[in-house]
């Protein structure tokens, strides 16, 4: 059997990816299917860390948050990511995966505090580590948290799971002739304003020479193909 191209990965999941066809919240069938994709690569011996967003939870309270102080809204969003992390951990438990949730905010009754050394040890033991609460600071997105945790965990690649199977020259939903980039440089992505990640996350990955792959988590087997080094998604590198 061919060995995986990457031994340790960080998977960035958006909260919206957990909604499935629902308008907000967590769709049970969707989260179970995503976890089965993660389980498949874990069985290959790949060490997996996850950073998860909270947009699906926060969307339900967004009207009430209109006009709210930005820092307060961001802290609410961080709490939403912790809720998603716990739901993801429970889905992993149902499928026989051992995982640990670490939070950048201290909520010790429900999640461990983020400790880099402990997270590294969990990965080496074959456990999935789920990072909640972003960076723990307002004004920073979970994209930036994914780039930061990827550096700290010494992963081989950051994988951004989206609804689209890569980065395109144009919106493939409105332009059927839009072409998928197989490879990009970080500078190209920044200059062309391609919606890969936010600028802070892209710059951090570029400066630390951390490869980034954008792929569709809704495409069956896509995560495994990325991990095996096949032509799946868009690889962004220096």
Segment 198-210, tens digit of pLDDT: 889 999 999 999 9
- Is residue 194 in a domain? yes
Domain that holds residue 109: 8-237
Assigned domain for 2 exists: no
Burial 90-129 (b: 16+ CB within 10 A, else e): ebbeeeebebbbbbbbebeeebbebeeeebbebbeeebbb
Which amino acids are annotated as binding site for UMP, given as ranges? 54, 74, 135-142
Residues at the binding site are 12-15, 54-55, 59, 74, 135-142, 162, 168, 171
Confidence of residue 73 (pLDDT cuts 50, 70, 90): confident
**Length, in residues, of the chain:** 238
* Number of domains, the chain: 1
Would you say residue 101 lies in a domain? yes
Q: CATH no. for residue 169?
A: 3.40.1160.10
**What's the predicted TM-score (pTM) here?**
0.94
Average pLDDT value over all residues in the chain: 91
Confidence of residue 58 (pLDDT cuts 50, 70, 90): low
Binding residues for ATP: 12-15, 55, 59, 162, 168, 171
Q: Would you say residue 131 lies in a domain?
A: yes
Give domain status of residue 119, yes or no: yes
């Amino acid at each position: 059997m061919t060995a995986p191209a990457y031994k340790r990965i960080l998977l960035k999941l958006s909260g919206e990816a957990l909604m499935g066809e629902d308008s907000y919240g967590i769709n049970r069938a969707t989260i179970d299917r995503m976890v089965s994709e993660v389980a498949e690569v874990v069985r290959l011996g790949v060490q997996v860390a996850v950073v998860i967003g909270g947009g699906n939870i926060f969307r339900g309270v967004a009207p009430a948050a209109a006009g709210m102080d930005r820092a307060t809204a961001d802290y609410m969003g961080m709490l939403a990511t912790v809720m998603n992390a716990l739901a993801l951990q429970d889905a992993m438990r149902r499928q026989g995966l051992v995982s640990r949730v670490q939070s950048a905010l201290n909520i010790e009754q429900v999640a461990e505090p983020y400790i880099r050394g402990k997270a590294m040890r969990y990965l080496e033991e074959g456990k999935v580590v789920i990072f909640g609460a972003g960076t723990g600071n307002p004004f920073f997105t979970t994209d930036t948290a994914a780039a930061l945790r990827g550096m700290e965990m010494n992963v081989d690649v950051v994988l951004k799971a989206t609804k689209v199977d890569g980065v395109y020259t144009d919106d493939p939903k409105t332009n059927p002739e839009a072409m998928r980039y197989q490879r990009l440089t970080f500078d190209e992505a920044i200059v062309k304003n391609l919606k890969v990640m936010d600028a802070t996350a892209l710059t951090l990955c570029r400066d630390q020479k951390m490869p980034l792959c954008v792929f569709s988590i809704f495409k069956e087997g896509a995560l495994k193909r990325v991990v095996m080094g096949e032509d799946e998604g868009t690889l962004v590198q220096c």
